[in-house]
Amino acid sequence: AQQFENILVETRGRVGLVTLNRPQALNALNKATMEELVAAVTAMDSDPEVGAVVITGSEKAFAAGADIKEMAAKGYLEMYAEDWFRGWENLTRLRIPIIAAVSGFALGGGCELAMMCDIIIAGDNAKFGQPEINLGVIPGMGGSQRLTRAVGKAKAMDMVLTGRFIDAEEAERSGLVSRVVPAAVVIDEALKAAELIAAKSKPAAMLAKEAVNAAFEMGLAQGVVFERRVFHSLFASEDQKEGMAAFTEKRPPEFKGR
């Protein structure tokens, strides 16, 4: 297995678990952490034995943002030339379903990382925010775009302009998170959801993710046609035959990922 410095990586059955592990910096997302996280999840994406991924942090912090100390002294041209944060796009291109299990602070890049995931399961101690405005900047890992799509203009403007944190209850009410659970069980709940997903046909799950994400890129008519074509394509899989046969025979399906 690959060795990482900033994350812990394990596989539990068909679920990959990646834990951000920079407790001294509340899991601030420096460049090295980004590269390790992207490498770890990319390997899981292409591993047929892994059907879903959980990304989590510590009880105190999912991630407190991009690493402020790493960026503070940089100039414009350096940020531009290095295309700072560009590497995160590699995570959003992966096809495997990804669940963020969020306890504590998910701020700035931490909130943005959670929003790059497909499902957010939040502990009741979670705090979400885009406080970049307090640093004289704005979100840089997609926050102004993904937050606005998730919660609408009213809440997004409130959060991005004031830097105010919202708690788990407000996040769920606003449509930012999928579920809120007691903080003590947030990883268990995320792993359970991931196990459910990982037991499905992996190609079907990847295409389901792609189809939902297409809703953010396409008009309705085009998106509905895209969905229908993808639906048709799944009739080329053995898993479709198995899934429908299992239904008729009143038994659980056994998907093979082909």
> Could you list the active site residues?
66, 109, 112, 132
Strand order of the β-sheet with 61-63 is 61-63, 105-107, 127-129, 166-167
- Should residue 143 be labelled a site residue for ligand CAA when binding is judged by CB under 6 A? yes
Question: Total binding residues for ligand CAA by CB under 6 A?
Answer: 22
With respect to ligand CAA, which residue has the nearer C-beta, 62 or 255? 62
Binding mask 59-88 for ligand CAA (x = CB under 6 A): -----xxxxxx---------------x---
- Should residue 34 be labelled a site residue for ligand CAA when binding is judged by CB under 6 A? no
Using CA atoms in the order 213, 155, 191, 239, what is the torsion angle rounded to 10 degrees? -20
Residue 9 CB contacts under 8 Å (≥ 6 apart), including other chains: 1, 2, 16, 17, 18, 19, 40
Q: How far is 189 from 121, CA to CA, in rounded Å?
A: 8
Is residue 116 within 8 Å of 93, Cβ to Cβ? Answer: no
Question: Hey, which residues between 222 and 251 contact ligand CAA (CB under 6 A)?
Answer: none
- Should residue 28 be labelled a site residue for ligand CAA when binding is judged by CB under 6 A? yes
- Should residue 151 be labelled a site residue for ligand CAA when binding is judged by CB under 6 A? no
Number of residues that this document lists for the chain: 258
With respect to ligand CAA, which residue has the nearer C-beta, 36 or 132? 132
With respect to ligand CAA, which residue has the nearer C-beta, 34 or 208? 34
> ∠ CA 226-121-6 to the nearest 5 degrees?
100
CB under 6 A: which stretch of 130-138, 151-159, 186-194, 246-254 binds ligand CAA?
A: 130-138
With respect to ligand CAA, which residue has the nearer C-beta, 100 or 141? 141
What value does the CA radius of gyration of the chain take, rounded to a whole number of Å?
19
Q: How far is 121 from 115, CA to CA, in rounded Å?
A: 11
Binding test (CB under 6 A) with ligand CAA, winner from 105, 115, 123, 202 = 105
Binding test (CB under 6 A) with ligand CAA, winner from 50, 53, 121, 141 = 141
- Should residue 107 be labelled a site residue for ligand CAA when binding is judged by CB under 6 A? yes
Would you tell me how many other CB atoms lie within 10 Å of the CB of residue 171?
A: 26
Q: Which residues in this chain contact ligand CAA in the complex, by CB under 6 A?
A: 25-26, 28, 64-69, 85, 105, 107-109, 112, 131-132, 135, 139-141, 143
